[in-house]
Amino acid sequence: MAKRFSTKGVIVEMTGDEMTRVLWEMLKEKLIRPWADVNLETYDLGLENRDRTEDKVTVDSARATLKHGVAVKCATITPNSERVKEYKLKKEWKSPNATIRAMLDGTVFRSPIMTRNIKPSVPSWKKPIIVGRHAYGDVYKNTEYRVEGPGTAELVFTGRDGKETFRQPVQEFTGPGIIQGIHNLDSSITSFARACFEYALDRKVDLWFGAKDTISKTYDGRFKAVFETVYREEYRDKLARAGIQFVYSLIDDTVARIMRSEGGMLWACKNYDGDVMSDMVASVFGSLAMMTSVLVSPTGVMEFEAAHGTVQKHYARHMKGEPTSTNSMALIFAWSGALRKRGELDGTADAVAFADALEASAIATVESGSMTADLVRIADPTPERTCSSAEFIDAIARMLASRWG
Summarize as ranges the residues that interact with ligand NAP (CB under 6 A): 75-78, 97, 288-289, 305, 308-313, 326-327, 374
Cα 127 to Cα 186, 243, 262, distances in angstroms:
33, 18, 6
Distance (Å, whole) CA 224 – CA 315: 45
Per-position DSSP letters for 29-60, written without gaps between them: IIIITTTEE--EEEEE-SHHHHHHTTTHHHHH
275 lies in the binding site for Mg ion (CB under 5 A):
yes
Measuring CA to CA, how many Å separate 29 from each of 25, 33, 324, 360?
A: 6, 5, 18, 19
> Which span (68-76, 87-95, 249-257, 268-276) binds Mg ion, by CB under 5 A?
268-276
Site for Mg ion in 276-295 (CB under 5 A): 279
Residue 275 binds which entry of Mg ion, ligand NAP, none, with Cβ cut-offs from 5 to 8 Å by kind?
Mg ion
Residues 57-86 that bind Mg ion (CB under 5 A): none
CA 47 to each of CA 16, 87, 362: distance values in angstroms, whole numbers, following the listed order: 7, 8, 29
d(CA 320, CA 340): 37
Using CB under 5 A as the binding criterion, the count of chain residues that bind Mg ion stands at 2
- When the beta carbons of 352 and 358 are compared against ligand NAP, the nearer one is 358
CB 4 within 8 A of CB 35: yes
268 or 311: CB nearest ligand NAP: 311
Position with the least CB separation from Mg ion: 275
Q: Work out what residue 374 binds among ligand NAP, Mg ion, none; the CB cut-off runs from 5 to 8 Å by kind.
A: ligand NAP
Q: Out of Mg ion, ligand NAP, none, which partner does residue 394 contact, by CB within 5 to 8 A per kind?
A: none
Backbone angles phi, psi at 379, to 5 degrees: -80, 150
Cβ pair 221, 213 in contact under 8 A: yes
Query: What distance in Å separates the CA atoms of residue 222 and residue 76, rounded to the nearest whole number?
Result: 35
* Residue whose Cβ sits closest to ligand NAP: 309
Is residue 41 involved in binding Mg ion (CB under 5 A)?
A: no
Cα–chain center distance at 382: 29
Structure-derived torsion over alpha carbons of residues 224, 227, 230, 233, reported in degrees to the nearest 10: -60
Of 12 and 258, the one with the shorter C-beta distance to Mg ion is: 258
- The nearer residue to ligand NAP, 77 or 104, going by C-beta atoms, is 77
CB of 17 to ligand NAP, least distance (A): 7
* Residue 165 beta carbon to ligand NAP: minimum distance, rounded to whole angstroms: 41
**107 vs 361, which CB is nearer to Mg ion?**
107
Q: Which stretch binds Mg ion (CB under 5 A): 144-152, 223-231, 270-278, 281-289?
A: 270-278
Determine if 138 is a binding residue for Mg ion (CB under 5 A): no
User: Shortest gap between Cβ of 105 and ligand NAP (angstroms)?
Assistant: 18
Closest CA to 304 of 342, 356, 347, 278: 342
Smallest distance from ligand NAP to CB 55, Å: 14
Binding partner of 279, given ligand NAP, Mg ion, none, CB within 5-8 angstroms per partner class: Mg ion
Residue 314 C-beta: closest distance to ligand NAP, Å = 6
What pairs with residue 41 in β-bridges?
12
- The CA-to-CA distance between both ends of the chain, in Å, stands at 8
Q: Which residues bind Mg ion (CB under 5 A)?
A: 275, 279
